[in-house]
Amino acid sequence: MPIKGQVWKYGDDVNTDVIFPGKYTYTVSDPAEMGEHALEDLDPEFRFKVQPGDVIVGGKNFGCGSSREQAVVCLVTKQVGAIIARSFGRIYYRNCINNALPAISCPQAVDALERGDEIEVDLEAGEIRSAKGTFAFPPLPEAVMGIFEAGGLIPYTRKRLGVED
């Protein structure tokens, strides 16, 4: 089923400190509480107004900086549907896959989309659909698709090790 929601648009080099401030890294451990700090130092209204399925659109190098996984988990908690960017910080990109949050590199969509646009992201078709146009993106490499399909690295590892639910 496609992801449907509104666009929250930001610029280049959005770093993990503004997505989830470092001062909370060892004082906030509950994912629900992590969500209450999402994008706190970038867009103070985001955490109060974001709706399930909404999509973050960033520029180049989205999620650069610290390896802190809370910067992905806080968005998963807020039920963000996907992140579309020109490019991603590499650890952030891995953290997205490992938490089954779609991270899509699609410069054409970044150029076209603006805050508040209604969009659909179809992972199976590899398409972003909006009033501004339809944009294609390549699928994940096959070797890591399994992690994404299992719902993240932890369920994937359980499956791989044959751990019973």
Partner 1 sequence: MGHTFAEKILAQKAGLAQVVPGQIVEVTPDAALSHDNTAPISRIFGKIGVARVARPDIHVVVLDHACPAPTTKHAQNHKTIREFVAEQGIEHFYDVGRGVCHQVLAEEGFALPGALIVGSDSHTPTAGAFGAFAAGIGRSEMAAIMATARIWLRVPESLKIVVHGRLRDGVTSKDLALHVIGDLGADGGLYQSVEWHGEGVEALDMEARIVIPNLMAEMGAKNGYIPPDDVTLAWLKGRARAPFEPVYPDDDATYARVVEYDAAAIEPVVAKPHTVDNVAPVREVAGTPIDQAFLGTCTNGRLSDLAAAAQVIEGRKVAPGVRLIVIPASSEVYLAALDAGYLRTFVEAGAVVESPGCGPCMGNHLGVPAEGEVSISTANRNFRGRMGTKESDVYLASPLVVVASAIAGQIAHPDDL
Could you identify the residue written with the tokens 């400190």? 17
Min dist. Cβ of residue 4 to partner 1 (A): 27
Q: Which has the closest alpha carbon to 103: 160, 131, 132, 144?
A: 144
Angle at 90 (CA atoms; ends 111, 140), nearest 5 degrees: 70
In the numeric block, which tokens belong to residue 164? Answer: 């019973």
Give me the 97-126 binding string for partner 1, x by CB under 8 A, dash otherwise.
Answer: -xx---------------------------
What DSSP string runs through 5-31?
Answer: EEEEE--S--BHHHHS-GGGTTT---H
Asked if 151 interacts with partner 1 (CB under 8 A), we say no
Query: Does 160 participate in binding partner 1 (rule CB under 8 A)?
Result: yes
The smaller minimum CB distance to partner 1, of residues 92 and 119, is found at 92
Query: Which is closer to partner 1, CB of 116 or CB of 138?
Result: 138
Helix (H, G, I), strand (E, B) or coil at 54: coil
Binding site for partner 1 (CB under 8 A): 13, 15, 17-18, 21-23, 25-27, 29, 41, 60-61, 64-69, 72, 87, 89-91, 94-95, 98-99, 141, 143-144, 152-154, 157-158, 160-161, 163-164
